[in-house]
């Protein structure tokens, strides 16, 4: 197709008939998808629940246990506070869910904390929200996978010694599934997700039936729970500490608002319904587990989880139903990482598009997913698992502070958005990068809802930071500002680069008055003569350079050059310390120092190209090393002339 611009310059658009080569990677992650296939990769509500709700739903497997871990230091009597604390957490969950319901409908293109903060609070709050969320997603993978492995080792204690290896293997598996695409990962994980939900409702329901019929009983052979030092008194600070640990149940609620674009049209409606489903299931199961854990006198322990104790008490042993609930819980915990794998790449791509992360994160892979973000998440989460030895209790203190910071910024941003909406006249609108603001008749009510959400989550964030500070939360307190500093450094680089590449006040490119070409030769052969011929096509001022390490070899090079060099001057650099790169660099720096105005210096490097990849290992990669060494020199052009051998 031929396109003509207004200036008369002809632009030709040509279709290239090209299909990616088949290889092992296609077998591993599937055939490449065309850009036009993107609309067909969206998902419905049922699959969306599996993709985006697995993180939130999985927290029912460990949130109750984390509350109990804190209260147990005050003795078994303090465990009676588990259920009241769980009710308080569910009330907070309702506030946050209603707040995010408004966000989903206000930002149909995706309204995560980063975008909401960017459009309503400014650049710095957006960076803080982005840093908090990205950190939280990394911890989501580490915590959920570790918790899943803990369920497995509860049923099979002999695997406890290899829990780290199992966890890393699980991370790799979830990574590969996500590299195949959002739709495929959703279909893959849908059955296990619904199996877990049904199994948990059946287990909790049967547990309530046995409790009210007086046949439930208590845990048989509970795991040991040793306390170091004297028992402490139940204080408001202890209860707040336990409350903050249990708020891990809220992690993942924001995931749907971040991934609206993955849903089928109408996106906001489908995402909003999925959010309601998720919150309802989460609240029901969380309260049910907390209630039954108290009735069976479950003991918090890393040796056996509360879910395991509850299941074998309800089912009267470790039979088929017990193994089913353990398997379902382990799978949902491992799949909870899928929520992070769905959202982390999207958020990193948005952040990178704004210039706060490397631009490479904006590129989609062969399966239309942000594959670089997926791989980066897997690598960092695996390092965390190794560092903390797959311990949920050691990882949890790092976990929720980031997500509550993002909750606070998101809800504060939404409250400000409704304030702006209320001050618009009918028919007036404000176009922002993430949405269009028009006057809303119910702006006051919506502002109050989001404002209440912001205040509530801010209070929880402060409580969490204070009560968990010595347990490891201090790491996040210092880590998030460090990530924001990295964002700022990357953004500054891109701004400086854009200014230097800008065409504003740009007249004409530099005219080349003289072109000097240097050809680096290790020997006189067909490859070096090909490079020489190319160099002479660029300029008449050509100089060949050879580094002399062995005098006899240097003499042979000089003799052959006199025969085949066609009169081109040859400079031999003596290297008594047998160095190669350093003499060349010194020589070129001297030429650059004495360079004339508008003179261009080009270095031509002959490069062998072997027919098989492994044959490269048999040759010195001199051209590659030279390219890296010369790359940062100003006023220098580096060219490689390949010669197939």
Per-residue pLDDT reduced to its tens digit, 504-513: 777 766 666 7
Mean pLDDT of 560-581: 88
The better pLDDT of the pair 397, 103 is held by: 103
The tally of CA atoms less than 13 A away on the side-chain side of residue 297 is: 13
Give the C-alpha separation, 424 to 443, whole Å: 11
Give the C-alpha separation, 356 to 493, whole Å: 9
Give the C-alpha separation, 522 to 540, whole Å: 22
Mean pLDDT of 137-161: 84
Residue 376, Cβ neighbours under 10 Å: how many? Answer: 20
Is the sign of the CA dihedral 203, 204, 208, 214 positive or negative? positive
pLDDT band at 185 (very low <50, low <70, confident <90, very high): low
pLDDT at res. 377: 95
The better pLDDT of the pair 442, 503 is held by: 442
pLDDT band at 230 (very low <50, low <70, confident <90, very high): very low
pTM above 0.85, yes or no: no
Give the homologous superfamily in CATH for domain 514-644.
HUPs (3.40.50.620)
Q: Report whether pLDDT(291) > 90.
A: yes
Q: Report whether pLDDT(491) > 90.
A: yes
Q: Report whether pLDDT(461) > 70.
A: yes
Give the C-alpha separation, 107 to 254, whole Å: 13
Is there a shared CATH topology between the 39-220+232-495 domain and the 514-644 domain?
A: no
pLDDT band at 29 (very low <50, low <70, confident <90, very high): low
> What CATH number has the domain spanning 39-220+232-495?
1.20.1740.10
Mean pLDDT of 527-556: 90
Mean pLDDT of 66-80: 81
Q: Report whether pLDDT(229) > 50.
A: no
Mean pLDDT of the chain: 83
pLDDT at res. 583: 87
pLDDT digits (tens, 9 = 90+) for 295-327: 998 888 877 888 989 999 999 888 899 988 888
Looking at the chain, the whole-number percentage of residues with pLDDT higher than 70 is 88
pLDDT band at 84 (very low <50, low <70, confident <90, very high): very high
Yes or no: say if 460 and 112 are a contact pair by the CB < 8 Å rule: no
Nearest to 138 by CA among 319, 385, 309: 385
Give the C-alpha separation, 315 to 205, whole Å: 12
Domain ranges for the chain: 39-220+232-495, 514-644
């Amino acid at each position: 197709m031929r396109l003509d611009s207004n200036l008369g310059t002809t632009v030709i658009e040509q279709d290239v008939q090209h299909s990616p080569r088949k290889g092992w990677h296609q077998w591993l992650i599937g055939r490449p998808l065309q850009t036009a296939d993107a609309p067909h990769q969206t998902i419905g509500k049922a699959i969306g629940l599996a993709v985006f709700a697995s993180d939130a739903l999985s927290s029912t497997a460990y949130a109750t246990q984390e509350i109990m871990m804190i209260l147990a230091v005050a003795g078994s009597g303090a465990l009676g506070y588990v259920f009241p604390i769980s009710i308080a957490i569910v009330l907070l969950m309702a506030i946050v869910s209603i707040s995010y319901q408004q966000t989903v409908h206000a930002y149909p293109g995706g309204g995560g904390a980063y975008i909401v903060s960017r459009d309503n609070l400014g650049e710095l709050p957006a960076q803080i929200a982005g840093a908090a969320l990205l950190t939280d997603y990394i911890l989501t993978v580490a915590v959920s996978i570790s918790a899943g492995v803990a369920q497995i080792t509860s049923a099979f204690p002999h695997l406890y010694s290899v829990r780290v290896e199992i966890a890393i293997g699980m991370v790799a598996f979830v990574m590969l599934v996500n590299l195949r695409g959002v739709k495929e990962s959703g279909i893959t994980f849908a059955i296990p997700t619904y199996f877990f939900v049904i199994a948990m409702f059946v287990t909790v329901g049967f547990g309530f039936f046995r409790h009210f019929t007086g046949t439930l009983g208590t845990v048989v052979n509970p795991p040991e729970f040793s306390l170091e030092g004297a028992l402490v008194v139940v204080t408001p600070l202890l209860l707040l500490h336990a409350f903050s640990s249990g708020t891990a149940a809220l992690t993942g609620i924001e995931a749907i608002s971040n991934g609206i674009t993955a849903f089928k049209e109408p996106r906001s409606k489908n995402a909003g319904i999925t959010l309601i489903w998720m919150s309802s299931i989460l609240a029901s199961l969380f309260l049910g587990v907390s209630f039954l854990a108290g009735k069976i006198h479950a003991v918090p322990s890393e040796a056996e989880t509360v879910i395991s104790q509850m299941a074998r008490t309800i089912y009267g042993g470790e039979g088929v139903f017990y193994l089913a609930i353990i398997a379902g819980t382990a799978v949902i915990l491992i799949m909870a990482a899928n929520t992070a794998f769905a959202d982390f790449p999207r958020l990193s791509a948005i952040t990178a598009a704004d210039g706060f992360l490397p631009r490479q994160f904006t590129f989609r892979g062969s399966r239309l997913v942000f594959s670089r973000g997926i791989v980066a998440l897997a690598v960092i989460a695996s390092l965390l698992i190794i560092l903390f030895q797959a311990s949920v209790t050691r990882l949890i203190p790092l976990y929720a502070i980031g997500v509550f910071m993002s909750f606070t910024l998101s809800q504060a941003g939404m409250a400000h958005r409704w304030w702006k909406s209320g001050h618009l006249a009918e028919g007036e609108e404000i176009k922002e990068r993430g949405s269009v603001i028009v006057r809303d008749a119910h702006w006051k009510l919506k502002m109050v809802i989001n404002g209440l959400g912001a205040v509530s989550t801010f209070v929880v964030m402060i409580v969490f930071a204070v009560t968990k500070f010595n347990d490891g939360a201090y790491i996040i307190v210092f880590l998030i500002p460090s990530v924001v500093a990295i964002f700022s450094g990357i953004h500054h680089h891109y701004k400086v680069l854009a200014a230097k590449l800008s065409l504003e006040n740009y007249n004409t490119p530099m005219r080349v008055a003289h072109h000097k070409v240097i050809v680096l030769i290790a020997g006189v052969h067909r490859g070096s003569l090909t490079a020489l011929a190319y160099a002479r096509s660029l300029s008449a001022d050509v100089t060949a350079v050879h580094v002399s390490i062995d005098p006899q070899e240097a003499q042979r090079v000089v003799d052959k050059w006199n025969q085949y060099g066609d009169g081109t001057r040859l400079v031999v650099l003596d290297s008594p310390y047998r160095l190669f790169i350093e003499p060349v660099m010194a020589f070129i720096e001297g030429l650059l120092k004495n360079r004339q105005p508008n003179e261009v210096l080009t270095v031509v490097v002959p490069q062998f190209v072997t027919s098989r990849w492994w044959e490269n290992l048999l040759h010195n990669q001199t051209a590659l090393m030279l390219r890296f060494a010369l790359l940062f020199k100003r006023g220098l052009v580096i060219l490689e002339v390949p010669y197939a051998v």
